[in-house]
Structure 1
C-alpha cells in the first residue's frame, strides 16, 4: 500500500477480520491512512484513483477486491487527507 501511495501516508488504523465463502477463505483488511502536506495529499489522490485496478503482489494471497470506503480533506493548518480503504485477500491455493 505504501508503494501505491508513493511512500507517503501513515497507517493510523488497521483492522483484520476473517472472511470465508463456500469456496474461498481469506481476510478483510480495513486501513485508515493519513497524508499530511500538499505533496502527500497529491500522492493520496493518485492512490485513490489507482486503487481499484492496482495489481497487488502478496505472496500466497490474491486481492479479490480493493475499494475506497471514505475520504476526508482538511486544509488548515496544512492540507491533510485521510482515507479509509478495504482489501479482501483470499488464500491462493
Structure 2
C-alpha cells in the first residue's frame, strides 16, 4: 500500500479586502477595543467618483472598551484614515447606545463613504 508522506501545501491566507481593512482601522481607532457586530457595504457612485458606503456596528463591553468606544465617537468624524487605494470622504456616527448596568456596554453604529483613490 502506498502512503503519501509529503507535507500538505501551506494554506493560502485569504486576501484582505477594503472592508476588512476598514474594520481593522475602526477597532484600532478605539484603542484595539470593540467587536464588529455587523457590517453592510453598498456600492456608491457619483459623476466623478466611485466607491462604497459602509455601515458598521461595533460593541464595547467593560470599562476599558467603553473608553475606547468613546474615543472612536470623538475622533471618527475628523480622523485621517490610511487605507490603500481608498479615501474616506465622509465618516459619521449614526447611533449610540450606552448602558451602565449591570456592566458598562456601548454600541456604536457608524457610516463611512469610501471612494476609490485613482
| TM-score above 0.5 | yes
Query: Normalized against structure 1, the TM-score is what?
Result: 0.97
Structure in which a larger fraction of residues adopt strand = 1
For structure 1, the 5+ residue unaligned runs are none
Structure in which a larger fraction of residues adopt helix = 2
1:80 counterpart residue number: 105
Aligned residue pairs: how many? 93
Q: Which runs of 4+ in 1 moved over 2 A?
A: none
Query: Normalized against structure 2, the TM-score is what?
Result: 0.77
CA-based RMSD of the aligned residues comes to 0.6
How far off is 1:2 after superposition?
1.2
User: Is 1:69–2:94 an aligned residue pair?
Assistant: yes
Distance 1:12 1:46 in 2: 18
Cα deviations across residues 6-64 of structure 1 (Å, max 9, x unaligned)? 00000000000000111101000000000000111111111100101111011001000
For structure 2, the 5+ residue unaligned runs are 1-25
